Structure 1
């Protein structure tokens, strides 16, 4: 589409995103309830109070050419900056479907502004004994969420929880806060990450091979090693929930994490801080046409994500 994506946000009864530095519009609007609560089945429910700013959030993302005050076309926008948006969620949590829908819309309408959203929908397993076993849950992802709790200081893990670039967390249905956090993360300098699927492996059952290269590390001032991670995500997944808080609902999902593992560690003070290959098992029931591969660089101590890349799996 010619031009750049403009982001328009209007909060019923107030609210704006003037600090984003983007123009507002109202084409292609979608409405979402912005929930102000979160759930923690391991303890008592944690409530954020009432829905924010009257509840409804209207977001318009559309393509258009930007112009200066004199009517002349401006220089095209710089390349999009990857921003990793993680959503810790569960099919057993009644607060989670609106957050799942928000993540899906953020990913669908990306890039916007200068942000390229890299979505990771991570299903935790601590809801599995409360009426409905989430078929996408993983204890490894629960452990990952606990790691964030220790660093970001939010106390006990809860769902839905959104984490942007490993630096800020909030209740996953808060659309305005998500957009603001994504814009702030996109403005930060990133470490370049590139990735490719090895030739000759597409279509073979079992394992796919990927090559990942990371540029010179971006200094963050927090210290600690920087780890390279690889994840497989799948879109287009649905569930018919028969028990638990979401009994009777048909749930749709965004980029569900099917697999995630660390593949190495970046070396400081090098133009190429990491270069390596990784073999990832691809299960037969996963639909290849809906699979994406994500690589991201994350500081071990601060958990700040320094850079990322995403590609579609070749059919």
Structure 2
């Protein structure tokens, strides 16, 4: 049975994946909102969808749609700037719809506590896109690690997480370059990796930041069953030379006890997989999101200690 969706944040980088997921799961996008109106991408997915550049008119449409139609908008997808997620989730729930929100779900753990109350008041659910939990290679790694930890609960793994995704000068002029709006580098490009690692290796026990710059964050965290050195950056200069030589502008690497864990493929359809998971009665909610939100919120508040202790090797590039 086809369900009706609305989308908040239709012009951003990630919005087409939500449109594609809505279409590929056999559902309908009824209305979309974005203050930017250059959204020709909608013609490839839902050209008949109503479109608004003002929240007030979008709000009125959603309210009228519920009152004047037998159908309802069952889900509102949220791909707006990070700092607006909390407000837009609240709008979705209070409008009688479930919310499907991009990562990071919110910027701080206390937002999750308030959303749980609104879930109870409205009877609607909040879902977040934690697509790495649905990646075949990562599921296989989790199963492998779980079996090894069951055999030896004291086992500790050593991991290096390196994620470099080049961004131009526009990044720092946009909301993504404003920590108050994006949450900073760790929240904006690292939150789903931190979720994946804590999902596999257990909750965080220690959190240290070595470097905190506008384009780079690096640090160390102790999880229940892992020691993790991590390096996140949007600076092209830090990408390894052999990767640059191949014309690539992104570098993603996770090593587990010195062995490279390969998961570079299989990302294309994970939003569609996430939507199927939600529509089939699964999905990841507020409780699943909490671990990673607590991690990135703490990173935002921590002062960097410099190149001391167990730091990531890429820190020496700076």
TM-score range, shorter chain: under 0.3
Structure 1 or 2: more helix by fraction? 2
TM-score (norm 1): 0.26
Structure 1 or 2: more strand by fraction? 1
